A and B are shown apart, each in its own frame.
Chain A
Amino acid sequence: MQKTFSRVATALLFLWMAAAVVFGAAADPDRLTRQANELMGQGDLAGAVEVLKQIPPPAGGGEGEAFVRSRLQIARLHFSLGEMDKALAAAREVLALYPDNSEAKNFVASVEQEGQPRYVTFLKDCIRFLPALAKGAVMTLLLVLCTIVISPIGGLLIALGRLSTFRPISAACWFVIWFFRGTPLLLQLFFIYYGLPSLGITLSPLTAAVIGLGVNYSAYLGEIIRGGIQSIEHGQMEAAKALGMTYGQAMRRVIIPQTYKRLMPPIGNEFIALIKDTALVSTIAMVELMRAADQLFNTYFNVTALVLAAIVYLVFTTVFTFIFEKIEYRAGIYEHR
């Protein structure tokens, strides 16, 4: 009975294949794909593989999309059946024709990694991701350094403006602080990058990012610097004036130098926050560390990229903390007996 059935089935298959040859249906990838999907739906993975194998390589280097898809599907099916060698063979069939196919490459890489110790896998991922992450990290560092140069200058101007007895200036500075501290940095970045073009001002992502971060951090530092200036004992200003100094001279020579030590801890804090806030500019088409890690994560579905990014951020913040402790010590050297 079983024998009869298999004979019939074989005969039917031959007939069907003959018909297919006759009607050219064997070369119809869509039908084969559908058929394979049906078999997969019934749980017949091996059968699906057999069907997919009938999709031929593109003749004469033509459009090979169906072929590539079929072989990758075969590779995945073998993979889920635990047949690693066959899976690799299928993926390599693709690579033989299309050596740059990234999906096949990734597949080969991840299959080859199966069975390796985890740390080897991790290290290989690190090496693989490092170039892209390094580029992102350099961009992050560039953003941080630009903001560190801009924001203390902007902050000092805002602070002096706030302390001005000339009302329009102090009111304007108050407004800047009120606005930029009172709205999300993300929104400010969106406004600068996506909003300003409607006013006829189009900025590159880098320019927009530097302006956004620079203004936002200037507003924060402005308040910190104002507090620092006001914390200097009033007698210092009087002593400077008594010598005949102008307000500007007294500020420059006497008051502001004394604020350095007091300002280092809060400003250091802000700059640590800044290192992490640069991640927000990934939303305005800047490829910095966070964006680079995110892209790798989405391409390889591999958490290692995120872990690496976290480590780089930690390295940055640690180095900055260390530098700021040194600067704080140096700035206050006159207080050490």
Chain B
Amino acid sequence: MNTDRQPLIQLEGIIKRYKNLTAVNGVNLAVYPGEKLVIIGPSGSGKSTLLRSMNFLEEIDAGVIRFEGREAGYVHRHGRLHLDRQQVVCPLRAEIGMVFQHFHLFPHMTVLGNVMEGPLTVQKKPVPEARAIAYDMLAKVGLSDKRDVFPATLSGGQKQRVAIARALAMRPKLMLFDEPTSALDPELVGEVFDTIHALADEGMTMIIVTHHMGFARELADRVIFMDGGVFVAEGTPQEIFDERMQNERIRTFLSRII
């Protein structure tokens, strides 16, 4: 698929070990511009770790990460892989937006302040420009009226939409969503889902780790089922969901989720 184009991000043989657990065990993955990839799998299957390693929040033990075709973020020292200096890593992260399960909004800044923070501090944009970007992004997630409040006053769904706006304000090439709806009350999932859906329709490249099967069915070009640190199955939503009886593990997992 898409072999004529260069992958936006490409992982080769990614291995991440914790003390006595191999969370990610030799994963290969290529994500192309505009693609919407959903990773599903049981808890502890390594999907979050994999996602976080794409943003260099997890330091991998082996493997290569290529961003826009170039090897990115690591140096070899004493025969081991080390995360590169922050002068190298930070600009890479600035091109990749990340949305966390628990939002992690900056509680001491207003909603507007949260969204302006990236352009202002990281991209060193002047205040009027950063503010204009933030206004746009808050309008996009439908929270223009909440600009001047502090995050503590928002609902979970609103917080997550602000977090999405905050990431989008950096004009990222790739958006990573780490279980974006898992911490939300069921009635609030819809608004966040709609926001992500709208973003997908704009052509944003995104990788979503989720337990929410609606994402996979409605959004995904491709679904990966991960378990035990490896990809167990990979395919279109139809292939994964309709032919799930093919694989015992997928069947068990999906029967628990759905």
A residues whose Cβ falls under 8 Å from a Cβ of B: 233, 235-236, 238-247, 249, 253-254, 257-258, 334-335, 337
Contacts and interface: CB of A to CB of B under 8 A. Distances in A.
A247 B86 contact: yes
Nearest to B85: A246
Q: Is the interface on chain B under 10, 10 to 19, 20 to 34, or 35 or more residues?
A: 20 to 34
Given A243-B94, A244-B91, A235 B104 contact: yes
B104 A335 contact: no
Interface string B100-128: 10101111110000000110011100000
A235 B100 CA distance: 9
The main secondary structure of chain A at its interface with chain B is helix
A242 B122 CA distance: 11
Nearest to A250: B121
Nearest to B150: A334
B222 to A, nearest CB: 24
A242 B55 contact: yes
Contacts of B118: 243-244
B161 interface: no
Given A239-B98, A244-B95, 16 more contacts: A238-B57, A238-B104, A239-B105, A239-B106, A241-B93, A242-B57, A242-B93, A242-B100, A243-B118, A243-B167, A244-B90, A246-B90, A249-B121, A257-B108, A335-B107, A337-B153
B94 A244 contact: yes
Contacts of A334: 107-109, 150-152
Nearest to A243: B118
A249 B122 contact: yes
Contacts of B123: 244
User: Which residue, of A242, A249, A258, has the highest number of chain B Cβ atoms within 10 A?
Assistant: A242
Contact of B57 (A241, A245, A246, A335): A241
B170 interface: yes
Given A243-B117, A254-B106, A335 B100 contact: no
B131 interface: no
A229 to B, nearest CB: 14
Given A238-B100, A253-B117, A337-B153, A244 B122 contact: yes
A244 B122 CA distance: 6
A253 B121 contact: yes
